[in-house]
């Protein structure tokens, strides 16, 4: 009886989108099986699949199936490796020829349905083996460049180029044909049902100070699901960070070495602004980012306060004796009813200085009911008598100092970058002349000058990013000021009708700190508001 040669077949597709298409793995599989049937002394022993594995991007040591094949060849577990075409083994000219050589040297025949047997019997065979994969590598590189160019063009034109559909949006088909595929291009548009929820996420942050976890809890308790699934805090956080809410669809935002991690917002690429995608205005979006950032670093800003405590001044209450933040606390009070002696218990909420244990204070605990009542009376009276004309002057002064001046500085830097870019272009033009002996500069001198100019440009661009980051915080504060100006007339009415979370957010935009002492409160307003006070008296006696 004739022993048949053991055949291992390798099937590979380079992208996930090819896995289930008719012209890829199923086609490779059918072709290989037919080829084996035409060789009577062959027997299919094992099939190996590489789904979504690039033979150009992935090196051999990161391809599990190739590692299995090489180890099996060393152990004489099969006689023939069969592929549909040799580029299924790989497209790297620095590795794939060596894989073929390794297999042949270990007694394994390497066959392709389309190209026959790979041989290394003489120098010409080795050269041809290398040239085969060199050509495949070049084709992959060209394909990669063409794909990137097409994707870049589609992104610049605002078309959908793949990936998850952001919450709040849906796809629709345009009448523009796809340049590479037999189908129409698609765009994003707002989903009417999801848009309302999308907007409410931002509103809960802005108006009530909710964090991602609390928003998730809020929606889940009301039966508002995330496309059939319960909400999770990390999903909410990603949605709040996504600039598509202001009409800017991002792309190339994942890290190259780990697609699960996101680059910093300043490093994202975005499509041209699409007004039809806007859910929230840009200033409010920036305010939300500042709130999220302050939560991450535990640095309270003018737009956020802690929300876990149910006390009105939590997060802005400070001890007037040692300067520490006051904590939310409560004590239990017992009451004995005189008529029948029945004992009832109740919680009395208070603000407490925990540092008083180490540094004795004249007063350690402050009853929340009494001090909050006096605080609200003072703030409502203050808002009734605010010098609004002065407030407008201070708001304009803030805008000029923190926004207009910074924008002018950015404009100056951008002009400097333009000058440097012109210098760089001239230097690059001079390189060709130098190589032809028509320049007074050597290539080495030009290379050094080019490197320095390029570094100068990068440093200037870095300066712009730093200023823009600083400006984003100022823009968020300016948005608060503009909102305060707009809502000043009905601020008191809105405050009286608001729930505890909304009240805390309204107060945080008005008040920086509230300092507690025995029998008095000191209220420190934000700079713009403080400069607009009719009276400088910001103390309130607590009776």
- pLDDT number for residue 51: 78
Average pLDDT over residues 331-359: 84
- pLDDT number for residue 20: 43
Task: Give 283-287's long-range contacts (Cβ < 8 A, gap of 24+).
Answer: 283/475, 283/476, 283/478, 283/479, 283/482, 284/202, 284/206, 284/479, 285/202, 285/243, 285/245, 285/246, 286/472, 286/475, 286/476, 286/479, 287/206, 287/476, 287/479, 287/480
- pLDDT number for residue 239: 95
Across the beta sheet with 365-367, the strand order is 327-336, 343-352, 365-367
DSSP string over 143-163: HHHHHHHHHHHHHHTT---SS
Give the model confidence (pLDDT) of 225-284 as tens digits: 999 999 999 999 999 999 999 999 987 666 555 555 566 666 678 888 999 999 999 888
Give the model confidence (pLDDT) of 278-315 as tens digits: 999 988 898 888 888 877 655 555 445 555 678 999 88
Gap between the Cα atoms of 233 and 87, Å rounded: 44
Average pLDDT over residues 44-69: 78
CATH architecture of the domain covering 5-154: 3-Layer(aba) Sandwich (3.40)
Average pLDDT over residues 202-219: 91
- pLDDT number for residue 17: 45
Quick one: angle between helices 123-156 and 96-105, nearest 10?
Answer: 140
Give ranges for CATH 3.40.50.1390 in the chain: 5-154
Would you place residue 16 in the very low, low, confident or very high pLDDT band (cuts 50, 70, 90)? very low
Q: Are 79 and 104 in contact (CB under 8 A)?
A: no
Percent of the chain with pLDDT strictly greater than 90: 30
- pLDDT number for residue 2: 67
Beta strand segments in 320-477, E: 327-336, 343-352, 365-367
- pLDDT number for residue 46: 92
Q: Are 487 and 494 in contact (CB under 8 A)?
A: yes
Give the model confidence (pLDDT) of 362-418 as tens digits: 889 999 999 999 999 888 888 887 766 666 777 777 778 778 888 899 999 999 999
- pLDDT number for residue 19: 40
Average pLDDT over residues 172-184: 82
């Amino acid at each position: 009886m004739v022993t048949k040669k053991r055949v291992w077949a390798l099937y590979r597709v380079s992208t996930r989108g090819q896995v289930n298409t008719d012209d890829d793995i199923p086609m490779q599989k059918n072709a290989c099986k037919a080829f084996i049937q035409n060789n009577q002394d062959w027997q299919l022993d094992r099939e190996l699949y590489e789904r979504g594995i690039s033979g150009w991007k992935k090196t051999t040591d990161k391809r599990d199936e190739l590692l299995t094949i090489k180890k099996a060849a060393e152990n004489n577990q099969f006689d023939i490796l069969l592929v549909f075409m040799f580029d299924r083994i790989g497209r790297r000219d620095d590795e794939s020829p060596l894989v073929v050589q390794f297999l042949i040297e270990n007694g394994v025949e390497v066959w392709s349905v389309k190209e026959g047997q790979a041989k290394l019997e003489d120098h010409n065979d080795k050269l041809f083996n290398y040239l085969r994969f060199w050509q495949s590598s070049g084709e992959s590189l060209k394909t990669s460049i063409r794909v990137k160019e097409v994707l870049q063009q589609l992104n610049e034109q605002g078309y959908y180029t793949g990936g998850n559909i952001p919450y709040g949006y849906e796809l629709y088909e345009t009448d523009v044909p796809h340049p590479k595929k037999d189908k129409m291009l698609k765009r994003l548009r707002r989903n009417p049902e999801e848009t309302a929820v999308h907007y409410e996420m931002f509103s809960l942050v802005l108006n009530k100070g909710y964090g991602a976890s609390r928003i998730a809890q809020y929606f889940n308790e009301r039966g508002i699901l995330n496309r059939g699934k319960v909400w999770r805090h990390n999903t909410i956080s990603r949605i709040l960070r996504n600039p598509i809410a202001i009409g800017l669809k991002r792309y190339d935002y994942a890290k190259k070495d780990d697609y699960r991690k996101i680059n910093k917002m300043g490093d994202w690429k975005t499509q041209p602004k699409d007004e039809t995608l806007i859910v929230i205005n840009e200033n409010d979006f920036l305010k939300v980012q500042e709130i999220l950032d302050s939560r991450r670093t535990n640095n309270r800003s003018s737009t956020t306060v802690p929300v876990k405590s149910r006390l009105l001044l939590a997060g802005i209450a400070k001890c007037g004796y040692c300067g520490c933040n006051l904590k939310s606390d409560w004590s239990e009070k017992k009451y004995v009813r005189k008529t029948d002696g029945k004992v009832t218990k109740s919680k009395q909420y208070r603000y407490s200085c925990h540092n008083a244990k180490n540094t004795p204070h004249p007063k350690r605990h402050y009853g929340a009911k009494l001090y909050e009542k006096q605080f609200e009376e003072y703030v409502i009276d203050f808002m009734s008598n605010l010098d609004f004309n002065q407030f407008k002057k201070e708001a304009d002064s803030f805008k000029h100092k923190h926004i207009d001046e910074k924008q002018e500085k950015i404009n100056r830097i951008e002009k400097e970058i333009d000058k440097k870019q012109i210098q760089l272009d001239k230097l690059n033009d001079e390189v060709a002349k130098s190589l032809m002996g028509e320049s007074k500069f050597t290539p080495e001198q030009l290379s050094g000058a080019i490197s320095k100019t390029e570094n100068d440009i990068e440093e200037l661009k870095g300066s712009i990013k730093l200023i823009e980051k600083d400006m984003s915080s100022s823009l968020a504060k300016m948005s608060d000021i503009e909102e305060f100006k707009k809502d000043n007339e009905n601020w008191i009415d809105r405050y009286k009708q608001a729930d505890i979370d909304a009240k805390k957010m309204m107060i945080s935009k008005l008040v920086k700190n509230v300092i507690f002492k025995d029998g008095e409160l000191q209220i420190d307003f934000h700079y713009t508001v403080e400069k607009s006070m009719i009276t400088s008296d910001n103390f309130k006696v607590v009776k």
